[in-house]
Every structure is written in C-alpha cells, then in structure tokens.
Amino acid sequence: MSVVLVTGANGFIALHIINELLKAGFSVVGTVRSPAKGKILDNFKSLYKNPQLVLEYVPDISKPDAFDEVVKNHPEVDYVLHTASPFSFGVGDDNEDVFVKPAVNGTLGILNSVKNYGHNVKHVVVTSSCAAILNFDKFTDHSFVHTEATWNPMPWDIAKTNPELAYCYSKTVAERSARDFVAKEKPGFTISTVNPSYVYGPQLFDETTGDLNTSSDLINQAMKLPHDAPGPFTEPANMGIDVRDVAIAHLITLQNPEKFADARLALACGYFSQQLFLDVLNSRIPELKGKIPVGDSAAGKQYIAENVLTYKFSKTEQLLGVKYISIEDSIYATAKQIVDYESAHK
C-alpha cells in the first residue's frame, strides 16, 4: 500500500483529496496546524471501517524546517501532496505576512524536507492555482488565450496593495519557487502542479458548511441577496471548477507519476458570474425562488463574453482524460448543501 503525505489536510480541497486517496487504497499521513483543526478528519471513521489515516501537527508552515520532523517520522511516504496555503481575502494587515511568506516558505520548506529526509518519495504535487496563470492586463483581451504555459506577470509593487492580488502573487511566486527548486537542486523526486480556478462544489462533511471556503461563500452571498436588490449581477465573474474534479486530478497524478512529471494541470470547467449563480439558484433551488433576484440572464452571458478572459486548457484535459462536472452542477451542489444545512440548523 502506497503512502501519501497531505499537508493542510483539513482544507476544503484536501478533505476531498484524502477521500479519493482512501477510496483508491492509499494510506494517508495528514498535517494540520493543531488538534482542533484536525478534529474534522475524525469524520473519515464514519466513511471507512478502518481508514488508513494518521495526523501530524505543523503549527506554522512558514518556518523553514516546519515539515522536517513529519518527514523524518514517516520514512514510508511515497508521495507528497502539498495543499497547505492561505486563501482568505481581507485577513490581517500585512499582505506579505498573510499570503506570500506562508505560501513560499511552506512550499520550499516541504520540498527541502523531502529532499533531505524523504528518501522514498517519488513524486510531489503542489496545489497551485489559476491565480498563477492569470494575466490581469489581458483579462478582457480575447485575442490573448491563457494556457498552461501562461504566467501571472504582476509585480509585488502592484499586488501588495490588495489582498486578492497579493494572494495571486503568492501562488505565482510559490509555484515558480517550486519549479526553480527542482531545476536547481535536482532532488530524487519529480513534481507537478495542479492549478484550479475558483473551486466550487459540496463540502465533504456537512458540518463545515457553516465555515465555507472563499469561493463557495460567493454563492452563499448570492443566496442572501434580497429579492429587490438592484442589478446588474455581474461580479464576481471568472473560471470555475468542481472540488471533486480537483481531487481526482491530484489522485491521477499519483497513479501515473512518470506521465505527470513536470506537468502543470490548469483546471476549469466553464465561466461563472453572479448572474449565473442566480440563474441556477432560481431554476433549481425551489426554497429560494421568489426570495432572491432574478436578474437578466442574457446580460450576464454578454458580460462574461465581453469582460472575462479567454482560456484553453486542452493539454490538461488530454492528460487527465476525465469529463468535468459542469459549472452549473457544481453551483447547484454548493447551494443545495447550504440550504439543507441551514434548514437543519434553524
């Protein structure tokens, strides 16, 4: 049985990844920042009779040697999935401390730990983001096609002024740092990155629905709009992907690491806007019909066509060979779980 180390094991994406790993017969070592953060993983005992899952605690991933003891304690680890990184806009006063340092130091820290002590590790997957791909100067230039080869060129002098831009910058420099590390250090393992766009879909465990990830909370906000709220309902508007497909992408890289050595998997299943949220909510969630705005579907589609970037991630789709869950189905699954959770906790 192969063993996988998953950092940030209590995260929205990581929980789905661990579920796929356990389902596929892998044994998992997960890291979380504290016992309280790890409590959510007890739920796997209700999904599996004897889940092959152990936890280790890493309080501060930004420390250079943060992962040393974990890797030393688990020489049996074959693969590493590094998902730990902050994604919460508007938190803290210093965007460099909140986003950049944990992302870069955490990524280089786990790679150094694996190089020095993880002598059995064959492949490392870093969970990056389409934020590392987006060229904001080309966002409305539809002659420019974003692909797996595109990099976010934004300098820190601009990014540091805004939490969202600082997050995008952090994912870019963290991924570049990982790739530069492998090129320079030539460790005994290969790497790949998974770069999802905005991630929607259900929480793996209902109890986390009360503490939504940043992307899913955008849908939650649309669900709370008053019926007579004025439009247009445009922003946010971007690319999206379902969390279940993000998890499967991570799994597939481990099932064929040679094929995915140095791969950059950019994940998007379609475009969304706040208007699309409303369209799905009004048509598929009867509990919300008449309580939220209807908006203008045609105007929403036109806004996306005129104002949202062009992408083509065909290389990723060919490598993975999977059919993605549609953006509409992903929005619905997110909203339905929120409605059911709130109904049960009235």
Pick from 123, 91, 107, 87: nearest CA to 255:
123
**pLDDT tops 70 at residue 335:** yes
d(C-alpha 285, C-alpha 261), whole Å: 42
User: Is omega for the bond preceding 236 within 30 degrees of 0, making it cis?
Assistant: yes
pLDDT, position 123: 98
Which residues in 79-185 belong to E strands, given as ranges? 79-82, 123-127, 145-146
Q: Tokens representing 141? A: 């230039």
**pLDDT tops 90 at residue 92:** no
pLDDT, position 207: 81
| Cα angle for residues 88, 39, 28 (degrees, 5° grid) | 90
Q: Find the helix or strand (DSSP H, E) in which 167 lies.
A: helix 163-185
d(C-alpha 68, C-alpha 50), whole Å: 28
Q: Give the domain extent around 167.
A: 3-345
pLDDT, position 89: 44
Q: Is the dihedral of CA 95, 214, 149, 4 positive or negative?
A: positive
d(C-alpha 255, C-alpha 289), whole Å: 44
Share the mean pLDDT of the chain.
Answer: 94
pLDDT, position 86: 56
Average pLDDT over residues 280-288: 97
Name beta bridge partners: 306.
Answer: none
**pLDDT tops 80 at residue 289:** yes
CATH number at residue 257: 3.40.50.720
Summarised one tens digit per residue, pLDDT across range 58-73 is 999 989 899 999 999 9
Count other C-beta atoms under 10 Å from residue 176's C-beta. 16
Q: Which of 78-87, 154-163, 271-280 bottoms out in mean pLDDT, i.e. has the lowest? A: 78-87
Average pLDDT over residues 302-310: 96
| Cα angle for residues 250, 253, 259 (degrees, 5° grid) | 160
**pLDDT tops 80 at residue 112:** yes
181 Cβ partners below 8 Å, 6+ apart?
A: 108, 111, 112, 187
Q: Tokens representing 32? A: 């979380």
The strand pair at 264-267 and 270-273 is best described as unpaired
d(C-alpha 305, C-alpha 303), whole Å: 5
Summarised one tens digit per residue, pLDDT across range 215-254 is 999 999 999 999 999 999 999 999 999 999 999 999 999 9
Average pLDDT over residues 263-275: 98
Q: Tokens representing 267? A: 């994940």
pLDDT, position 52: 97
The tally of domains found in the chain comes to 1
Taking only Cα atoms into account, the Rg of the chain, rounded to an integer number of angstroms, comes to 20
pLDDT, position 346: 81
Number of residues that make up the chain = 346
The widest CA-to-CA distance across the chain, in whole angstroms, is: 61
Which band of pLDDT confidence, cut at 50, 70 and 90, is reported for residue 93?
Answer: low
d(C-alpha 121, C-alpha 259), whole Å: 16
CA distances from 158 to 103, 105, 135 (A): 18, 21, 13
Q: Tokens representing 118? A: 């993880």
Which band of pLDDT confidence, cut at 50, 70 and 90, is reported for residue 96?
Answer: confident
